[in-house]
Amino acid sequence: MNKEVLVIGGGPAGIECANSLISLGYKVFIVEKCSEPGGHLRKWDRLFPYGVSASDTLDKLLQKSGKAIFFYDTEVQTINQVDEKFVITLSDDTQLHVSSIVVATGFTLFPAAKKEEYGYGIYNGVITNADLEDGFKTHKKELFKANRVGFVHCVGSRDEKVCNRHCSKVCCVTAVKQACEYKDLNPDAEVYCFYMDLRMFGRGYEDLYLKAQNKYGIRFIRGRVSEVAEDVNGCLVVKAEDTLTSRPLKVTLDLLVLMSGMSKNDDNDKIADMLGIKTEEDGFLSLPEPTLNNCQTVTDGVFLAGSVTGPKTLPETLNEARAAALSVHKYLSR
Amino acid sequence: MRERFLFGYDPFVLPFTLGMVFIVLYLLIGSVRIILALNKEERLLLLRSMNPKQLLITAKDVFVDCLLHIKVFKRNILLGYMHFSIAFGWFMIILVGHLEVILYTPQRNGVLYYPVFFRYFVMETQQTLRGAFFFFLMDLFLLMILSGVALAIFKRFRSMALGMRRTTKLKIGDRFVLYSLWAIFPLRLLAESFTANISGGSFLTKSINHLVHGFVTNPDNALPIWWSYSIALGVFLFTLPFSRYMHIPTEIILIFLRNAGIKSTSYRNGYAESEIYSCSRCGICIDACPMGVNRGDIKFSTVYTIRLLRRRENPHEGAEKCLMCNKCVEVCPVGINSTRLKLLYRQSVNDSGQHDFSYLSLLRESDSSGKVLYYAGCMTHLTPGIYRSLFNILDKAGVEYSFMDKDGSVCCGRPLMLSGDVKGAGELIKKNTELIKASGCKTLLLSCPICYKIFRDEYKLEGIEVIHHSVYINNLLKSGKIKVKRGTGKYVYHDPCELGRGAGIYEQPRELLSETGILMDSPEERGESICCGGSLGSLTMSCDKRRKITEHALDVLNTNKPDIVATACPLCMRTFSPLNKKSETADIAQIISRNLI
């Protein structure tokens, strides 16, 4: 049995899985479709709930991955199974022979323009959580001059009309985190969060939420935004319903941040097809034993890690990556 | 030609004669019941339509619809021929039969059964040219009917060959009538063939007589077959009212009432009754119904809803689930306005009017004297890309306009109307009418076909032109106020239900698209366009079922691989765009705005 493993996806899940596999003595290939490692983590500034720097986190992850062989700007073209080995052809025509595969292709951020009523791509003042994070990272000063800012939760999640019934899990706390950070940069801003439910499930999340209310004075309005329009001054007129007071609501804002959720990776169908595994109705890859083993697939030697099986926080993703590495080890030393 | 029997009677005529008397009485009572259920105004309309000119038009319609079946021909030639051959052939046999009686046995004129069994009662004295002529005609039309019957039998096994993917499931009454209908004409052929050596015959009956003659030397043996023929007719006539074939006589009544300008005002009685009984359950609406992609929902298609109505059972589920896309009405060969029946049903159960309309008094009109007043409606508010593109076009053309519901306003009332709440819709219509009239505008411009439909049909806005943006932009382009660059983009146009079937606007959007790119065909377009699945018409359809409908509609639209699926309705666009993976989805205003020069 050769000790070579392919990891598809060079995000946090892929890197951490590779790290664990290297320490167990395996040779790891990582195929990454972008030109740099890190996935979505590379684009983020700070992480909830403690405000840890995203780039520091990524650097620490990458420190241990020195022995992994990265293929950048590359995708998997074909996978053939010969006996118990996988023969993989990459888009640059490289051929790899490995004994096991870990799929860590992550998620795609919901394209906010699909919710046209929120006006992303139509009004200048409408941005997404990723745009704001980029603003934090690159210190875009003009972004922090807005005096009235709104955060719209659940954009493209829990929304059957855009075919995403699932909860994206991390946007609630991301919105709270970003709202606080915004207040740090512009203490005079009035900040509103329009939410359906606030799902503060993780350790430290509830504290952050309380801090957002007590320390930062962020206003939380329970109700979905129905539509956004622009007035003559270029300000955004946001219509929503305050479901706690059962009243329709209209606020004029300068900046609106849409919390785009985690959607299935656009390549999931292709990858699932190549590996003989299935996707669920929500588009994420399916797990035959979701409770007992969240890495295992129906195909021997193929394992899953991270948000390819549904929205996850970063610590969850990293844990799963390590679990997948152990599963590979167990499979190859059987 | 002379009579064979002194009294011109034989007991075998009884089944037919009794059946005939029964059906005539039944129809008379039925017609009287329908007329009694009409209100005073409708009866007046009916009375007024009894003038020679109107009667001539009705006679023409009856001829074209009931005998020639032109509408069925348009659907499928074989299916049309099947209906035409049986209906028209049978009619001609009856007509020529009567002519024969009038010419050869005038003393029997008016005897109910005589023209039907003519050839049993007469014998040929010598070959006459006229006899030969009529016999030839009779055989010819009989052959025509038989070919139709053969097709009908074939259709039972392979409906696809006649252009129908699915047909209606038969009930016991239908089977009786169907099998007796199939039996009538072969039996008639046999019966007339048995006596063809006595009464004379033509190419069909004579030839068969020569063949059969060898077996039946005694012509009296022909009697059982004449009995069978009469019994088949009798069974057909007696079971007719309990089967779907009641549409044959009822359609004539329906055409009379429709041509008098009467519309249904109840979902079950009066005019509606004539519509319900005119349904032949041909099942053309099953294939047409967009709900059919969810197999479990086939039972809600119009044909079955009408069957429930006919049996006086509750049509609730079908009537509430219907998307009200009107495609079944468009394809119905009888022209039953089933959408109206469903709407009337909804009115009878949903007209609660529990709304808080106190906010209406707070709304004020804007001054738009002489300008174009634009009303976006809720759907265009959710698709701001559409109105921004439209404003871009209006600015470019130098049109002065004002935005009526910029800060939100009153709903147009169509969703309430579709739910059956006429009273609630009426309140909104009243307020909007006030606002629009007080604004002093000359033109009311709409980008949503749902709004357009109700503004056009239900509002009384004298002196104000109500226009949909696809037509308005097309006018701007034609008059040279805007110019577009001609590209190589390939478009497929999706006809929104409310704009196409609802308002008859098919051409202008297509003209517009042809000006800026290549317009491609869709396999099902114009009147046959498939609902996007987002329709406000359905009150109970679930999201996942709607999604299947949307995906099916998109598959059809993307058949010819267009770059853009163009539509002229914000609701269609919202429904399509998240699910359209194969091409872009855009409103017609967005496409024109992008290509302005």
CA angle, B340 as apex, B335 and B342 as ends, to 5°?
A: 115
Counting runs of H as helices and runs of E as strands, what totals does chain B give? 28, 10
Work out the minimum CA distance from B296 to partner chain A, whole angstroms: 20
What pLDDT score was predicted for residue B166?
Answer: 76
What pLDDT score was predicted for residue A109?
Answer: 95
Is B543 near chain A, with CB under 8 Å?
A: yes
For residue B352, pLDDT over 70 is answered with no
Of A114, A123, A230, the CB nearest to B578: A114
Is A163 near chain B, with CB under 8 Å?
A: yes
Reduce the DSSP state of residue A152 to 3 states and report it.
strand
Q: What is the mean pLDDT of residues B334-338?
A: 93
Of A114, A115, A116, which to mutate for an interface test with B (greatest number of B Cβ within 10 Å)?
A116
d(Cα A286, Cα A293) in Å, to the nearest integer?
Answer: 12
* B584: nearest CA partner in chain A: A114
* pLDDT tens digits along B100-138: 899 888 888 888 899 999 888 888 776 666 667 888 899
Instruction: Report the relative pairing of strands A52-53 and A46-47 from DSSP bridges.
Output: antiparallel
Please give the domain boundaries of chain B with CATH numbers for all domains: 51-242 (no CATH), 265-349 (1.10.1060.10), 360-475 (3.40.50), 478-594 (3.40.50)
Element spanning A177, H or E: helix A171-185
Tokens of residue B423, six digits:
């009273």
Measured from the Cβ of residue B418, the count of other Cβ atoms closer than 10 Å reads 26
Of B382, B406, B547, the CB nearest to A116: B382
CB pair distance less than 8 Å for B574 and A116: yes
Angle, helices B129-157 vs B203-213, to 10°: value is: 80
CB pair distance less than 8 Å for B579 and A228: no
B490-512 core/surface letters (b: 16 or more CB in 10 A; e: else): bbbbbbbbbbbbbbebbebbbeb
CB pair distance less than 8 Å for A116 and B383: yes
Q: What is the mean pLDDT of residues B437-451?
A: 93
CB pair distance less than 8 Å for B547 and A162: no
Q: Cα-flanking dihedrals φ and ψ of residue A283, to 5°?
A: 95, -15
* pLDDT tens digits along B160-196: 777 777 777 777 878 888 899 999 999 999 888 888 8
For residue B263, pLDDT over 80 is answered with yes
CB pair distance less than 8 Å for A163 and B385: no
Segments of B389-494 assigned E as strands: 401-403, 443-446, 465-468, 490-494
d(Cα B66, Cα B91) in Å, to the nearest integer?
Answer: 10
Residues of B in contact with A160 (CB under 8 A): 543-544
Of B383, B532, B535, which to mutate for an interface test with A (greatest number of A Cβ within 10 Å)?
B383
For residue B491, pLDDT over 60 is answered with yes
* Amino acid in position B245: Y
For residue B334, pLDDT over 60 is answered with yes
Q: Which of residues 46-65 of A touch B (CB under 8 A)?
A: none
CB pair distance less than 8 Å for A114 and B577: yes
Is B523 near chain A, with CB under 8 Å?
A: no
Under DSSP, the state recorded for B170 is P
* pLDDT tens digits along A238-258: 999 899 988 889 999 999 999
What pLDDT score was predicted for residue B196?
Answer: 83
Residues of A in contact with B407 (CB under 8 A): 237, 250
What pLDDT score was predicted for residue B535?
Answer: 94
A273-304 core/surface letters (b: 16 or more CB in 10 A; e: else): ebbebebeeebbbbbeeeeeebbbbeeebbbb
Of A160, A227, A250, the CB nearest to B381: A227
Three-state secondary structure of B321-355: HCCCCCHHHHHCCCCCCHHHHHHHHHHHHHCCCCC
Of B385, B406, B579, the CB nearest to A122: B385
Is B548 near chain A, with CB under 8 Å?
A: no
Place of tokens 């074209």: B64
pLDDT band at A129 (very low <50, low <70, confident <90, very high): very high
Burial class of residue B361, CB neighbours in 10 A (0-12, 13-18, 19+): exposed
For residue B472, pLDDT over 90 is answered with yes
Reduce the DSSP state of residue B314 to 3 states and report it.
coil
Of A161, A230, A239, the CB nearest to B578: A161
Instruction: Tell me which of B215 and B573 has the higher pLDDT.
Output: B573
* A162: nearest CA partner in chain B: B578
Work out the minimum CA distance from B143 to partner chain A, whole angstroms: 57
Of A115, A161, A224, which to mutate for an interface test with B (greatest number of B Cβ within 10 Å)?
A161
d(Cα B545, Cα B356) in Å, to the nearest integer?
Answer: 32
Work out the minimum CA distance from B429 to partner chain A, whole angstroms: 22
Measured from the Cβ of residue A51, the count of other Cβ atoms closer than 10 Å reads 13
Work out the minimum CA distance from B576 to partner chain A, whole angstroms: 10
Work out the minimum CA distance from B383 to partner chain A, whole angstroms: 5
d(Cα A152, Cα A129) in Å, to the nearest integer?
Answer: 10
Mean of the per-residue pLDDT values of chain A: 94
Please give the domain boundaries of chain A with CATH numbers for all domains: 4-106+265-332 (3.50.50.60), 112-262 (3.50.50.60)
Residue contacts between A and B (CB atoms, under 8 Å): 39
* pLDDT tens digits along B399-431: 999 998 887 778 999 999 999 999 889 999 999
Reduce the DSSP state of residue A118 to 3 states and report it.
helix
What pLDDT score was predicted for residue B214?
Answer: 67
- The DSSP secondary structure of A233-280, one letter per residue, reads TS-EEEEEEETTTTEEEEEEESEEEEEE-EEE-TTHHHHHHHHT--B-
What pLDDT score was predicted for residue A149?
Answer: 97
d(Cα A198, Cα A182) in Å, to the nearest integer?
Answer: 19
* pLDDT tens digits along B267-287: 988 899 999 999 988 888 999
For residue B154, pLDDT over 60 is answered with yes
Residues of B in contact with A122 (CB under 8 A): 384-385, 388
Instruction: Tell me which of B107 and A149 has the higher pLDDT.
Output: A149
Of B384, B544, B577, the CB nearest to A119: B384
Q: Where are the alpha helices (DSSP H) in B458-542?
A: 469-478, 507-516
For residue A270, pLDDT over 90 is answered with yes
Provide the ipTM.
0.71
Of B383, B408, B543, the CB nearest to A117: B383
Is A162 near chain B, with CB under 8 Å?
A: yes
* pLDDT tens digits along B29-65: 999 998 888 888 888 988 888 889 999 999 999 999 8
Residues 6+ away with beta carbon under 8 Å from B440: B367, B368, B369, B370
* B546: nearest CA partner in chain A: A161
What pLDDT score was predicted for residue B167?
Answer: 76
d(Cα B595, Cα B372) in Å, to the nearest integer?
Answer: 23
Residues of B in contact with A230 (CB under 8 A): 384
* B543: nearest CA partner in chain A: A160
d(Cα B560, Cα B209) in Å, to the nearest integer?
Answer: 57
CA angle, A73 as apex, A69 and A76 as ends, to 5°?
A: 75
Residues of B in contact with A250 (CB under 8 A): 407-408
Tokens of residue B457, six digits:
């049909």
d(Cα B596, Cα A146) in Å, to the nearest integer?
Answer: 34
Paired with A262 in beta bridges are A109
Residues of A in contact with B543 (CB under 8 A): 160-161
Nearest CA among B503, B498, B515 for reference residue B567: B498
Is A256 near chain B, with CB under 8 Å?
A: no
For residue B99, pLDDT over 80 is answered with yes
Tokens of residue B58, six digits:
């009705």
Residues of A in contact with B577 (CB under 8 A): 114, 116
CB pair distance less than 8 Å for B574 and A239: no
Integer angstrom CA distances of residue B447 from A237, B382, B512: 21, 12, 15
Q: What is the mean pLDDT of residues A10-35?
A: 96
Contact between residue A101 and residue A239 where contact means Cβ atoms under 8 Å apart: no
For residue A1, pLDDT over 70 is answered with no
Of B382, B544, B579, the CB nearest to A227: B382
* pLDDT tens digits along A162-221: 889 999 999 999 999 999 999 999 999 999 999 999 999 999 999 999 999 999 999 999
Q: What is the mean pLDDT of residues A23-28?
A: 94
Is B542 near chain A, with CB under 8 Å?
A: no
Rounded to a whole number of angstroms, the distance between the first and last alpha carbons of chain B is 84
pLDDT band at B5 (very low <50, low <70, confident <90, very high): confident
Q: Which of residues 122-141 of A touch B (CB under 8 A)?
A: 122-123
What pLDDT score was predicted for residue B317?
Answer: 93
What pLDDT score was predicted for residue B170?
Answer: 77
